[in-house]
Amino acid sequence: MRRRVVVTGLGLVTPIGLTVEATWSALLAGRSGVDYIHKFDVEKFPVRFAAEVRDFDPLKFAEKKEARKMGAFIHYAVAASDEALADSRLEITDEISDRVGTYISSGIGDFWAIEREHEKLLHDGPGRVSPFFIPSAIINLAAGQVSIRHKARGYLSATATACSAGAHAIGDSLKVIQRGDADVMICGGAESAITPMSVAGFAAMRALSTRNDDPAHASRPFDRDRDGFVLGEGAGLMILEELEFAKSRGAKIYAEVVGYGNTADAFHITMPDETASGQLRVMQMALRDAGVEPDEVDYVNAHGTSTPYNDKFETLAIKQAFGAHAYKLAVSSTKSMTGHALGAAGGIEAVFSVLAIHHQTLPPTINYVTPDPECDLDYVPNEAREVAQVRHALSNSFGFGGTNAALLFKRYEE
């Protein structure tokens, strides 16, 4: 019997809310977080909009001196960790700190620091580069700062698996607890990559939507007229605990984590395999890991990027994985509201999947106007849906390099 793992705390910083409550409320209202970019001058850019985190004040979470040592993605991770731990009501004492781990991933880290300090290097010389440049930029410092802040002295890690990173952090944390290397994991993803270089790079790849005249409707997953993804940012973290440990302290339990899949397309650096083999196998792996039959799953929070190929092939993979049951599933892409937060997306969307189970309510896919014959599933169009039951929810995350992750959550039962 392997150890059971449950979710006891949630934390979010997103373009539609700075807390779990604010984000979930906006999500169910179908509110878009996409607007024109305010972080830098976009006049010369082919894409001038994104889903930015607004009104976030890092000084609410750290003193000015400490905040200067952190990139924005670390600020978001710290804020989300504070909320998740407060939500779980877990006090990390000396007695348990060696059994509390931290696993927070990112796809890019702090591009802002790289661009800013490179500019200083070119114009003012190496002596002007900040001594905090490296610790503010490198990917593992989100996990490192959270570990230091909360005195979590157990398992510590971070992955840089592109848009699957946040989901891999949660899935790997599940396995850490199952095999007995920790009793608690603070885990998820954080990202802040809405920068000149990032926007220019993704635009050069022709990966981004170019609806500069209508940003709020630019992210339209599974819609026939989708034309690319919208950059987002933020953090999504959760507290995972071994079941008996959680019960022993009377913890509130949102859901159980029961399955995890991790596969590679082994096909192309950016294009998904047209057979959808990697996406199919990762969902099958998560189901197999959980011992759950396809017809027991009620909801899929899709990767759903709003790019022509991703949505088409993800739909194909879902139909292959679930057979006839695929047409009874509810599938939605919350990226229609939050944009694509890259390495944070898997963490944010895992939180949404847990909340869907907890509230028995499905978030919508907004901006769904014109059906695509090749995307013919129930995408919960435009309005949230209360349902009779969400027993199992699957969260998909796929990334450049052909990296795939799937997390399966279950309504908690004794």
pLDDT at 273: 87
Set 303, 358, 375, 392: catalytic member: 303
**38 is a catalytic site residue:** no
Cβ(208)–Cβ(328) below 8 Å: no
User: Can you tell me which residue has the tokens 């009779």?
Assistant: 388
For residue 414, the model assigns a pLDDT of 83
If residue 84 lies in a helix (H) or strand (E), which one and from where to where?
helix 72-88
Domains, the chain, ordered by start = 5-248 (3.40.47.10), 260-404 (3.40.47.10)
C-alpha 178 chain-centroid distance: 22
Q: What is the pLDDT of residue 328?
A: 96
**pLDDT tens profile 148-163:** 999 999 999 999 999 9
Distances (CA, A) of 407 to 35, 108, 197: 30, 22, 31
Q: What is the pLDDT of residue 267?
A: 95
Q: What is the pLDDT of residue 65?
A: 92
Q: What is the mean pLDDT of each run of 10 residues along the chain (414 residues)?
A: 95 98 98 98 97 97 93 98 98 98 97 94 96 96 98 98 98 98 98 97 97 98 98 98 98 98 95 93 98 98 97 98 98 98 98 98 98 98 94 97 98 92
Q: Tell me whether residue 217 is one of the annotated catalytic residues.
A: no
Reading phi first (left if > 0) and then psi (alpha if -120 to 50, else beta), residue 304 is in: left
**pTM exceeds cut of 0.85:** yes
Catalytic annotation present for 268:
no
pLDDT tens string 241-291: 999 999 999 999 999 999 999 999 999 998 888 899 999 999 999 999 999
Query: Rounded to whole angstroms, how far apart are CA atoms 71 and 187?
Result: 18
Q: What is the pLDDT of residue 272?
A: 85
- Report pLDDT for 216: 98
Nearest-angstrom CA–CA distance, 105 and 163: 10
Catalytically annotated residue among 75, 168, 340, 358: 340
- Sheet containing 392-399: order of strands: 156-157, 100-105, 184-191, 234-242, 5-13, 255-264, 403-410, 392-399, 299-301, 330-332
